[in-house]
Amino acid sequence: MNPDISKIAALLSDSTRSTILLSLMDGSIHPVTELAHMAKVKPQTASFHLHKMLEVNLVRVEKHGRHRYYKLISSEVAKIIESMLVIAPEPTVNSLRDSREKSAIHFARTCYDHLAGYIGVQITNSLIQKGIITKENLNFEVTPKGLHFFENLGINVEEQQKKRRAFARCCLDWSERQHHLAGALGNALLERMLELKWITRMPKTRAIQVTSTGRTQLEKVFGWDTGTGPLSQKST
Amino acid sequence: MNPDISKIAALLSDSTRSTILLSLMDGSIHPVTELAHMAKVKPQTASFHLHKMLEVNLVRVEKHGRHRYYKLISSEVAKIIESMLVIAPEPTVNSLRDSREKSAIHFARTCYDHLAGYIGVQITNSLIQKGIITKENLNFEVTPKGLHFFENLGINVEEQQKKRRAFARCCLDWSERQHHLAGALGNALLERMLELKWITRMPKTRAIQVTSTGRTQLEKVFGWDTGTGPLSQKST
DNA sequence: TTCATATTTCGATGATAGTAGAACTATTAA
DNA sequence: TTAATAGTTCTACTATCATCGAAATATGAA
């Protein structure tokens, strides 16, 4: 007499649906055709899957004109996916295109609504090393020194603490096998970096690109070199 | 080019396998026949499923004589199941037996290696109210006063903090829709309560029974009445 | 050695579920 | 109004997979 996990798991067990869900892990809205393209299926098929996920409340729709935009319904759903990524096997790389995309995603990507990948982990580690945040069990705490740091960056820490969600949690990065910053603070940092144009979203993927301004600023602020982009990174 | 979540999810998507996994959520070892009985399938079928879960590293086996004892391979796997329980629909109750078991499980049960259900949440809330622990984002911290409390109970807090796992995290209780104490401290508390015979494991389920000693002690220590057991609890 | 118990392997069966073609609805542009 | 685009519904077709009987293996008991 337990809740029925299998109903939920069945929805993630199909590779088309899991591809769609991982695309939605960027936290934003996506039209059906785009999701169909990502999963390499016809629009009918994507529609069929999205309908199933709507019924069990994994995703939500917004109608705008003739488009229907889908998104993840909650961070609870994102957490399920996140926890599976920790132990999921890495995919086989079949083409040069696959290999490039893999490098890009390992280098920097969004994980639901915060930054992940090599860059995400590096930033998190730098924040710890510089005494801006401290890691307590599976959460982060902002030091007094850290309050100034975020203030200068244009992020109001208190505002993030008031939000009805985890303030600064650890999220296990599947590519780096280390923790990166998540929660309200992680989200605020991503948003601010996008706003400052240090990073930009790459179309059709969850991959993130570091701009030339970004490279300069990251080096200045954190004192390390990000390299020239995903292709210059050694694959691990 | 993401890790393949669907492979993992496919293993949880079958109701027989999910029943087996939920049985293993008590963190201990179980022989094949017992798991087959819980899932209401023949031993061959259970064996077939366990073999699949072995291959993908969800479970581990220990051979003792002619028995093969299975258990969850890691707390990472437990975390996946835990995160799904949060949004999984409640099962339909078909018989009086089901209804009784449901009450028992809602009243008190193990969740991987700590206490959950009405009793688990009540204990957690009492610990907070009495200033023994405090809730910081999604973790708990032990107050100086709390150190004495756990000392008196026979739990060495420092020893738990040294362990290579989350010390005292929040775990969302699916039946109570509130947090209860998990992590090393949650585990230590469960073990100590079993040792003191305040509670006992009920055979064939994850349900936990509060002994008469337990009722007296819980009332004394926390100042609330646990009732006479699951059957005296109002179902919510 | 012989019998009983625990578990796995093999093979056959039956049910479930993903896929895309065709047709249909809804919205936008010309 | 007509044409084009976005998305859904319906209907087969196909493939995958859980289930269990039967038989095999392995351990323990008598």
- One domain for residues A34 and A150: no
Residue A14 has, within 13 A of its CA and on its CB side, a CA count of 16
CA dist list (Å): B223 to B149, B217, B218: 14, 9, 7
Nearest nt (C1') from B32 Cα? C7
| Nearest residue, CA→C1' of D21 | B44
Q: Is the Cβ pair A85, B2 closer than 8 Å?
A: yes
Q: Is the Cβ pair A3, B168 closer than 8 Å?
A: no
Does A79 reside within a domain? no
Q: Which residues are CB-contacts of A98 (< 8 A; sequence separation ≥ 6)? A: B1
Q: Which residue of A has its CA nearest to B97?
A: A1
Give A65 to chain B, closest Cα distance, Å.
Answer: 31
Does A14 reside within a domain? yes
Q: Which two tokens stand for residue A168?
A: 């600064």
Q: Is the Cβ pair B5, A84 closer than 8 Å?
A: yes
Q: Which is nearest to A228 in space by CA: A135, A120, A104?
A: A104
Domain that holds residue A112: 96-232
Give the model's pLDDT for residue A97: 78
Closest CB to A5 among B7, B85, B137: B85
Angle at A109 between CA A104 and CA A115, to 5 degrees: 145
State the Cα–Cα distance between residues B184 and A28, nearest whole angstrom.
Answer: 36
Give the model's pLDDT for residue A108: 96
Q: Which residues are CB-contacts of B64 (< 8 A; sequence separation ≥ 6)? A: none
Nearest nt (C1') from A36 Cα? D7
User: In this structure, how many other beta carbons lie within 10 angstroms of the beta carbon of residue B232?
Assistant: 10
**How many Å does it take to go from CA A42 to C1' C20?**
7
In strand C, which positions have an atom below 7 A from any protein CB?
A: 5-10, 17-23, 26-28
Q: A-chain residues within 8 Å CB-CB of B183?
A: 137
DSSP string for residues in A32-49: HHHHHHHHTS-HHHHHHH
Q: A-chain residues within 8 Å CB-CB of B87?
A: 8, 57, 74, 76-77, 80
How many CB contacts within 8 angstroms connect chain A with chain B? 151
- One domain for residues A20 and A114: no
State the Cα–Cα distance between residues A20 and A24, nearest whole angstrom.
Answer: 6
Q: Are A5 and A61 in contact (CB under 8 A)?
A: no
In strand D, which positions have an atom below 7 A from any protein CB?
A: 5-10, 17-23, 26-28
**How many Å does it take to go from CA A46 to C1' D1?**
32
Q: B-chain residues within 8 Å CB-CB of A19?
A: 2
User: In this structure, how many other beta carbons lie within 10 angstroms of the beta carbon of residue B173?
Assistant: 24
Element (H, E) at B214: helix B212-222
Nearest nt (C1') from B40 Cα? D19
Listed as ranges, residues in chain A with pLDDT below 70 are 1, 137, 164, 225-236
- One domain for residues B118 and B209: yes
Does A137 reside within a domain? yes
Does A25 reside within a domain? yes
- One domain for residues B105 and B150: yes
Q: Are A33 and A39 in contact (CB under 8 A)?
A: no
Mutate: best of A7, A80, A105, A177, partner B, most B CBs <10 A: A80
Q: Is the Cβ pair A88, B183 closer than 8 Å?
A: no
- One domain for residues A108 and A69: no
Q: Are B143 and B130 in contact (CB under 8 A)?
A: no
Nearest nt (C1') from A34 Cα? D6
Give the model's pLDDT for residue B1: 66
At residue A56, φ and ψ (nearest 5 deg) are -100, 10
* CATH number of the domain residue A64 falls in: 1.10.10.10
Angle at B86 between CA A177 and CA B81, to 5 degrees: 50
Residue that is last in its domain, among B38, B61, B87: B87
Q: Are strands B67-72 and B30-31 parallel, antiparallel or unpaired?
A: antiparallel
- One domain for residues B104 and B193: yes
Does A207 reside within a domain? yes
- One domain for residues B25 and B59: yes
Per-residue pLDDT tens digits of chain B, which is 236 residues long? 678 999 999 999 999 999 999 989 888 889 999 899 889 999 999 999 999 999 999 999 998 888 899 999 998 999 999 999 999 988 777 778 778 888 999 999 998 889 999 999 999 999 999 999 998 767 899 999 999 999 999 999 999 998 867 899 888 788 887 889 998 999 999 999 999 999 999 877 889 999 999 999 999 998 776 665 554 444 33
Angle at B83 between CA B80 and CA B87, to 5 degrees: 135
Nearest nt (C1') from B41 Cα? D19
Does A225 reside within a domain? yes
- One domain for residues B186 and B111: yes
- One domain for residues A118 and A24: no
Q: B-chain residues within 8 Å CB-CB of A167?
A: 137
User: In this structure, how many other beta carbons lie within 10 angstroms of the beta carbon of residue B96?
Assistant: 8
Residue A7 has, within 13 A of its CA and on its CB side, a CA count of 17
Residue that is last in its domain, among B87, B118, B148: B87
- One domain for residues A100 and A37: no
DSSP single-letter state for residue B234: P
- One domain for residues B18 and B61: yes
Residue that is last in its domain, among A74, A105, A134: A74
- Complex-level ipTM: 0.80
Q: Which residue of B has its CA nearest to A94?
A: B1
- One domain for residues B112 and B210: yes
Does A87 reside within a domain? no
Count: domains in chain A = 2
State the Cα–Cα distance between residues B193 and B119, nearest whole angstrom.
Answer: 12
CA dist list (Å): B13 to A27, B144, B175: 25, 45, 21
Give A198 to chain B, closest Cα distance, Å.
Answer: 24
State the Cα–Cα distance between residues B23 and B107, nearest whole angstrom.
Answer: 17
Residues having Cβ less than 7 A from any atom in strand C:
A 10, 14-16, 41-42, 44-45, 48-49, 52, 65-66; B 31-33, 43-44, 46-48, 50-51, 61, 66-69
User: B93 forms bridges with which residues in the sheet?
Assistant: none
Does A88 reside within a domain? no
Q: Is the Cβ pair A57, B87 closer than 8 Å?
A: yes
CA dist list (Å): A146 to A131, A149, A151, B122, B193: 7, 5, 8, 36, 41
